[in-house]
Amino acid sequence: MEKYIKAISDGYYGYANYLINEILNPGWHNYFYTLVAASLAIYLLEIAFPWRKDQSLIRENFWIDIFYLFWNYFLFALVAYNAISMVAVELFNDFLGLFGVVNLVAVQVGNLPGWVQLLLIFVLRDFMQWNIHRMYHHVGWMWEFHKVHHSTQEMGFGGLLRFHFMENILYRSLEYIPLAMIGFGITDFFIVHIFTLVTGQLGHANLKIPLGPFKYLFNGPQMHLWHHAKDMPESHPNGFNYGITLSIWDFIFRTNYWPSDDEHLPIGLPDQENFPKDFVGQNIQPFQNIFRKKDAK
């Protein structure tokens, strides 16, 4: 029991000290300022080269999305996630220990060139995220959480940042075992994570990025805007274009749908009028809907 209490303590105080150090000591390897700087840079690109020129610079719910940036990527970890995840890892390791498993790493990649390791973790993680994203659109209770992300009605870089805190838990939990079984270093994770965040913000940005033939490999704003379409086509009633950074998975598994470059495509939820506009309501309603459906059965 003591080690679980220590994990909780380390989770809170360790992350608090880490975050304070990040804020007080700017640098190239600083996650806090890297994410803030990347967001600002993409926002400046939106101002300079807007795809939807009639869209306001301070679009609808702009400031809520900015709050989501700090909540989802820093404050939630401070309040709960870091401590919970450390306890969960300890419990999982103890469970494996019952079967004599003391090291989860099954594949060693340390001898491979650095660029190969980066490419491997990027492709594997992107494929897993594509699959998890697809699940969000097909599993009823997961969709309730994912609605928060789809509630934006004016697309911009901050659209990536708006998501329910349960997505942090679900994504990381489902990614953990496959990635932990491969001996990647923490630096590799950091580089791939930052790259994914930047490309994800670009994919949601008010920008038109001509990719040419590379559109079959990389996701872009024109393709991803259709993912947020308010009305689903009959051919894809549960959604499409699930790619995070890579679009190739959608083309391989035929979950792609991109009939045109329509910058004024209506986006949002079919029942948008019933969705809360405030942060607290957006994070409470999914739980209410899940339990309401459960009680109705």
> What is the DSSP code (8-state) at residue 270?
T
Dihedrals φ, ψ of 163, to 5°? Answer: -155, 155
Sign of CA dihedral 89, 171, 244, 56: negative
Domain boundaries, the chain: 2-296
In order along its 297 residues, the chain shows pLDDT tens digits of: 787 888 888 888 899 999 999 999 988 789 999 999 999 999 999 999 999 999 999 998 999 999 999 999 999 999 888 888 888 888 888 887 888 877 777 778 878 898 999 999 999 999 999 999 999 999 999 999 999 999 999 999 999 999 999 999 999 888 887 887 887 777 888 899 999 999 999 999 999 999 999 999 999 999 999 999 999 999 999 999 999 999 999 999 999 999 999 999 999 999 999 999 999 999 999 999 999 877 666
Q: What is the number of residues in the chain?
A: 297
CB contact at 8 A, 82 and 11? yes
pTM reported for the whole predicted model: 0.92
Two tokens at 217? Answer: 């490999």
Q: How many CA atoms lie within 13 A of 46 on its CB side?
A: 26
Which ranges constitute the DSSP H helices of 98-113? Answer: none
Two tokens at 96? Answer: 């494996």
CB contact at 8 A, 267 and 230? yes
